Structures are given as C-alpha cells and as structure tokens.
Structure 1
Amino acid sequence: MVEISVIIPHYDDLARLDRCLAALSKQTVTRDRYEIIVADNMSPAGEGAVRAVIAGRARLVFALEKGAGPARNAAAAAASGGLLAFTDADCVPDPTWLAAGLSALVRQDMVGGRITVLCERAGMKSGAEAFETVFAFNNRRYIEQEGFSVTANLFCRRDVYDATGPFRVGVSEDRDWCLRARALGFRLAYQQAAVVGHPARADWPSLMRKWRRLHAELFANALMRRGGRLRWLVASAAMPASILAHLPRILVSPALAGHRERALGAATLARLRLWRFADGLMRLVGARA
C-alpha cells in the first residue's frame, strides 16, 4: 500500500520535470511505498509531450485553474497516500529526501526540509545567481522564525491537509497554508536531512518575475492581517537600510568566488531592495485609491 504521495505542480518545464522525476526514482525509500503525481497546468506542449517525459514514472492529472496552488490541490485530491510530500518540477530532491521527511513526520504534523541553491550555468555567477545563492530559500529561518515552509520542500499528514483546506490563489500560498495549519494547532518542524536543490534565477528579468509575483502575494497576505498596512509600510521603508545590513553576507559568503561575483551580487541586492521599497509604497497608495 502506498504510504506517501509526492506532489509536483508543473507548467511548461519539461526538461526540469524529467530531471526531478529522475531524482525521485533514486530515493532510498522502496518504490512500493510512494507514488508520484504530476499536476499539469495545461502546458502549451500538450498532454502527449508531458506524458512522454513522465514515461510511466508518475501519474498525470490536470489542473484547469492556473497556478501552482491549484495544481497542488488537484494532485492532492488524486493522492492515495496517508502522507503528502510537496516539491516543484524544477527541483532536485536528494536520494534520502523522502526517508528523512518520513522519519520526521513520526514526531511532527508538518515538516519542511533544507533547500540548496543550484546554479545551472557553468562559469562565473550572474548577479541574480550570486544574490540567490546567498539569500534564497533559507527554509530553516522561514520555519523557525516566520512559521512556514516553502512548498518546494514540505511534508504533512493527509489529515492535516484536509483540515487546513486547499492552497489559496493570489496570496503567498505556502506561507498562507502553513499559517492556517498552525492556527489549527498543527506543529511544523525543520528537518535538515531532507534536502532539495532548487535552481537559482539566471538573470535580472527572471529574478524580477519571481519578485513581482512574490511582492503581490505578500501584499495580499499583509492586507489579510490586522495592522497589515502599517506592517507593510514599516517593512517597505526599511528596505534601503537593509542593503547595508545584509551586504556583509555577500562579502563573506564562501559560496561566492572572487570580487566580481561579490560585486554583482551586491549590485543586485541594492537594485532589488530599492525596487521593493518603491513598489511597496506604490502598492499602499494604489490600495487606498
């Protein structure tokens, strides 16, 4: 009987989906204990192309509503396991990922694991890659200080998912879902040994696409909380000062090689934080109009 269902939302990223499924086929957990469900968001390549990449390694379901949240919900509805493991189509789980998550769920209701940043291009890192190598996906801090895990590396019991309800659209879905689950009394813990690799954004345009989406979702989350507008204003106003506060992390990071990578990372840090300052204030003004 299937013990755990691995849930993967997918949209138009066939090469990375193939890599993700290859990594999942190498798990130390025996294959009869887990199933893999790919929820496709109606990729332009078509069902035939998606099935060809899956090649029998997973079940395929479809999510008509756009977004990773609806895709995860569609996969969860089809899942037969009593435990759920969430990751993304562009991620690369370590061979012991499932085993580590399963062991932690014995003691917890929800578990988030460690996320490493993958640079897919050879050679010197771009500014976006340098920035994400240092700052992206600090899932331990998210869990222990902010109370949520990213859905690229999240485990939970099926009854926790059912009680909490589906992922919502238009908000920071992983944060929103975990906070709703914790409000019901469910416990979330960090599992260092459950490791997933996630690719860094390769350049400034791809980094901005990520942050435009994140900023819109985070603002929607803020408006749902009491005093959220004031909190958002304070956080936005602090963005310029955060450049100097966080610059030392780039300058001393062992993950960056040489002055050029550090300079590119520092420039991206400054550019992004100034954008977040301006965009944050504009969202407040627009919300009052």
Structure 2
Amino acid sequence: MSPVSARTDPGRLPVVVVPVFNALEAVDACLAALDRSLAPGTRVLLADDASPDPRVPALLEGWVRRTRLAARLVRRERNLGFPANCNAAFAETGEDDVVLLNSDTEPQGPWLERLAACLASDPRIASATPWSNNGEIVSFPHFVSPNPAPADPAALAAAAARLAPAYPVLPTAVGFCMALRRAALRAVGGFDAETFGRGYGEENDWCLRAEAHGWRHVLCDDAYVVHHGHASFAATGLAPGGENLRRLNARWPGYNERIARYILDDPLRGPRQRLAEALAMLAAESPQGDLFR
C-alpha cells in the first residue's frame, strides 16, 4: 500500500493553490514534492502570473498532464502581481477552503490533511500555518531565523506528526504556506491588491482584518513544510519591507510593537522544545545522522 493510499478522501481536502512566477528550479521541486506528499485526486490549482520565462509554462503544462493529482493550470494574460493573482485563484476554487502554497516550498508528509484537521478543529480559525525551516515566527529549530533546510525533511515531518496538536495562536499567518477558511475569505474579502501591489504585507493585513472580525490564526504544530525563501520574487527585484511595510503600519499602527512583543515573549518556545524532543526520539529509534545540513 502506498503511503498516501489510506488517507482522507482528497475531494474533502482544501484546494492547494500554487501561485507561480518564474523560478523554474524551485517550481519543479515544489511540484515533485506535491506528487510525493498528496494522494491521487487531490485538487491543485497552478496560477501562473504570466511568467516571462518560456520554460515555466512548459514545465507546468507537462506536470499537469503527468500527475495523478487533480491539477489545473491557469495562466494570466498579463502579470497581476502576487495579491491579485491569489485573489483570482481564490475565485477560481469555488467555495472550498484553500491552502496557499508558495512555489519555493517542498511540503512533507500528510501536511494537507493536518492543515485540514486544524481548520476543522474550530470554526473560528481563519488560517493555519505549519512549521518550517524558514518561516519567521514558525521557524524551527531557531525562532525567527532562516534555518537551512533539513537533510531529512521527511523525518522532521514524521516527528511533528507524532505530537498531539495544540494549535497555538499566532498574531498572523506566514505566507509561505497558509490554509485559509473559505468562510473567512467570504467575511473579509481577499488580499488588498490595490494597497499592496506586487506583494509583501498582504497576508498580514488580511490576518489583521480577519482578527478584527473575530477570527483566529494558529500554528498547525503537527505539520511541516520546507521553505527555501523568496525564489518567486527574485526576478522582480521585490524585497520584504519597504513601502508595503510602511503601508501596513499606517493601517495597523500597533502592528510592529505587537510582533516585537510576540518575539520577545516567544510563546512557541515550548512547542519547539516538544518538536525537538520528538525529533531526537525518532533519531534514536532510527539513526540517520544529522537532520540539518
């Protein structure tokens, strides 16, 4: 029996939305990880934001033809920018919950089912974010650090899956991988593409808007996704911060202070320790050497 054959009916899981803009090698690795980690028939939407690299559409088209997943490709006629491309994809996925997955990620293990279970645990959860090596406040092993990718990410995902999830509250989701409840999208709308343009800050703004309407954002602490970091934006010259950070803080004046306080308090210290202990136990049972390169 394959490792995914006994899993949840893929038709009941959120739709995986992968926004794409260039970054051929990263996209190829992401698609391979989807094939490894998802059950046949799982729904995936590739949203190509008019990638100018002609190799990218060819890669996407070939993968959609070959994969056992229920994959669909949409190519924008012109570049919309990340927030507007995501909003279009939200509209193209009907009334289902979605998982917005950056194209420079490599998801591991039963990550999608874990995120779905997290959303199902509380109808007021608007977003769920998994652990990652490079996930800002959800980074492991070092907090708010771009850790290197683990040498054996499957082992780390297996360690996370051993834990009884607590779903700690986050001040904001982290955009590399975020499960979004459709009801929350209906309630507060999509990303503010007019304000945040090509991208950066739109997911934080969305989370703050949702929270203002009574929704919560949590860590899905039994799931893990590798994130390599910013590959899709490299060709655009965009970088975190800048004008979009100023716009975010103008709209939400207490945001920077709140995040700074969260980092100082580090409420995920305990969950990180539990994950480290589960990883050490797994390594003791099946020694694999160093799990991080």
User: Same-fold call, TM > 0.5?
Assistant: yes
Alignment partner, residue 15 of structure 1: 25
Q: Percent identity?
A: 25
Q: 1:219: which partner in 2?
A: 246
* 1:196 maps to which of 197, 210, 225: 225
Native 8 Å contact 1:115 1:153 kept in 2:
no
Q: Equivalents in 2 of 1:86, 1:153: separation in Å?
A: 6
CA distance in 1, matches of 2:253, 2:241: 20
- In structure 2, do the counterparts of structure 1 residues 159 and 213 end up closer, same or farther at CA, with 3 Å as the change threshold? same
Distance 1:23 1:49 in 2: 15
Whether the aligned pair in 2 keeps the contact of 1:114 and 1:192 (CA below 8 Å) is yes
Corresponding residue pairs, total = 204
Describe how 1:272-287 pairs up with structure 2 within 5 A: none
1:90-117: per-residue Cα shift (whole Å, max 9, x none)? 1001121101101111113221111113
Cα distance, 1:26 vs structure 2:
2.2
SS of the residue 1:161 aligns to? helix
Cα 1:81/1:14, change in 2 over 3 Å: farther
User: Which structure features the higher share of helix residues?
Assistant: 1
1:1-289 equivalences under 5 Å are 2-3=11-12, 4-27=14-37, 30-32=39-41, 34-46=42-54, 47-57=57-67, 58-63=71-76, 64-80=78-94, 82-108=96-122, 109=125, 110-117=127-134, 132-133=146-147, 144=169, 147-169=171-193, 170=196, 172-200=201-229, 212-226=239-253
Work out which of the two has the higher radius of gyration on C-alpha atoms and give 1 or 2.
1
**How many angstroms apart in 1 are the aligned matches of 2:96 and 2:230?**
34
Displacement after TM superposition at 1:51 (Å): 1.6
Pair 74,218 (structure 1): closer, same or farther in 2 beyond 3 Å: same
RMSD: 3.1
Identify unmatched segments of 5+ residues in structure 2. 1-9, 136-144, 149-167, 265-275, 277-293
Query: Distance in 2 between the 1:98 and 1:20 partners?
Result: 14
TM-score (norm 2): 0.61
Q: How far is the alpha carbon of 1:15 from its aligned partner?
A: 2.1
Cα pair 2:19 2:47 within 8 Å, conserved: yes
2:286 aligns with none
Q: Distance in 1 between matches of 2:229 and 2:175?
A: 16
Task: After TM superposition, give the deviation of residue 81 of structure 1 in Å.
Answer: 5.8
- 1:87 and 1:195, CA in 2 relative to 1: closer, same or farther beyond 3 A? same
Where does the alignment leave 5 or more consecutive residues of structure 1 unmatched? 119-130, 135-142, 236-241, 243-253, 255-289
